[in-house]
Amino acid sequence: MNTYEQILDSAKRTIAMELEAVANLHTLIDQDFAKAVSCIYNAKGRVIISGVGKSAIIAQKIVATLNSTGTPAVFMHAADAIHGDLGTIQKEDVVICLSNSGNTAEIKVLIPLIKNQENTVIAMTSNKDSFLAKNADGLILAYAEKEACPHNLAPTTSTTVQLVMGDALALALLDLRGFSKEDFAKYHPGGALGKKMYLRVSDLTALNDKPEVAPDTPIKAVIIEISQKRLGVTAVTKDDKIVGIITDGDIRRMLEKNEVLTGLTAESIMSKNPKQITTDAMATEALDILETNSITQLLAVDHDNNYAGVVHLHDLIKEGIL
């Protein structure tokens, strides 16, 4: 076997083993899992998640997922807990301990200390006969028969299984809480995901100038307006109402057809009934209209149907919506 074949064989073998372990997880979603989720859902305190080694890293990811989906969670390293961080745990907190074997030295020291504080302990382990499983109040069985590591030593399959069970836990809680898209946006206001949920057309039009001409505006003035406002477009309005639109493409086509511009006005070349959107619409709605109609600018109107400004495709790109 050459080097490339060896690499491919090893990678495919690893994926196959982990895939099989994950595929078997649905058989472990039982009454114990439901009880553990219910316990967390009904708790008045937070979720404290602890572990050592690679399990500690997975614990941190689960904490992040819980926090972003409506369940307050805090990470506490099991080794640090027995050296002062035990104070992280408050009276009504629920503690989840991750350990593949369930028999590590740190876990054996930590669990009795937590129990002495009368906190509920939920075990996430591959070994239902372990010290952790037998001394916990609840069990989430994250079973991995064998690590993908050829020596069955490096945590691989076991941590993948823990990660997936953590997601199952977080999303079961999300469903129970009725956690909505709007709730999600509140926890992700700075990212593109959050912006898709809260950014409105009014937020975009506020970033731009407001190109506007009257129907009888001479073509030269129209060109200057489009050039100065730098959006490649201008609305044509009458009494604050949109009656048409002129794009830089319209200007180019007009110049190709007419050698003499005298007497031409905005009304002469404008497109009537342009696509419009209200300022309180979501930015994602504006994107849908732009993409559906293969256009790069969209005129916006307020509640009284008065011209309010322009949304440009570049605005959506800049904000990370596209």
23 and 100 share one domain: yes
34 and 103 share one domain: yes
Q: Which domain holds residue 108?
A: 3-179
Of the candidates 321, 317, 316, the one whose C-alpha atom is nearest the C-alpha of residue 204 is 316
Report pLDDT for 279.
Answer: 96
205 and 100 share one domain: no
Report pLDDT for 296.
Answer: 93
Binding residues for Zn(2+): 77
21 and 157 share one domain: yes
137 and 202 share one domain: no
Q: What is the CATH number of the domain that holds 42?
A: 3.40.50.10490
Binding residues: 77
19 and 91 share one domain: yes
Tell me, yes or no, whether 13 lies in a domain.
yes
In one-letter notation, the amino acid at residue 95 is: V
Tokens 């504080």 map to which residue? Answer: 117
222 and 302 share one domain: yes
User: What's the rounded Cα separation, in Å, for the pair 302 and 200?
Assistant: 12
Using the 3D structure, point to which of 147, 179, 211 is the last residue of a domain: 179
165 and 213 share one domain: no
136 and 10 share one domain: yes
Predicted confidence band of residue 190 (pLDDT cuts 50, 70, 90) = low
Pull the structure tokens for residue 313.
Answer: 């495709």
Using the 3D structure, point to which of 122, 145, 179 is the last residue of a domain: 179
Report pLDDT for 49.
Answer: 98
pLDDT at 41 over 70: yes
168 and 237 share one domain: no
**pLDDT tens digits for range 149-172:** 999 999 999 999 999 999 999 999
Tell me, yes or no, whether 188 lies in a domain.
no
User: What's the rounded Cα separation, in Å, for the pair 77 and 82?
Assistant: 9
pLDDT at 136 over 70: yes
pLDDT at 189 over 80: no
Q: At what angle do helices 53-68 and 157-177 cross, to 10 degrees?
A: 20
Report pLDDT for 124.
Answer: 98
Count: domains in the chain:
2
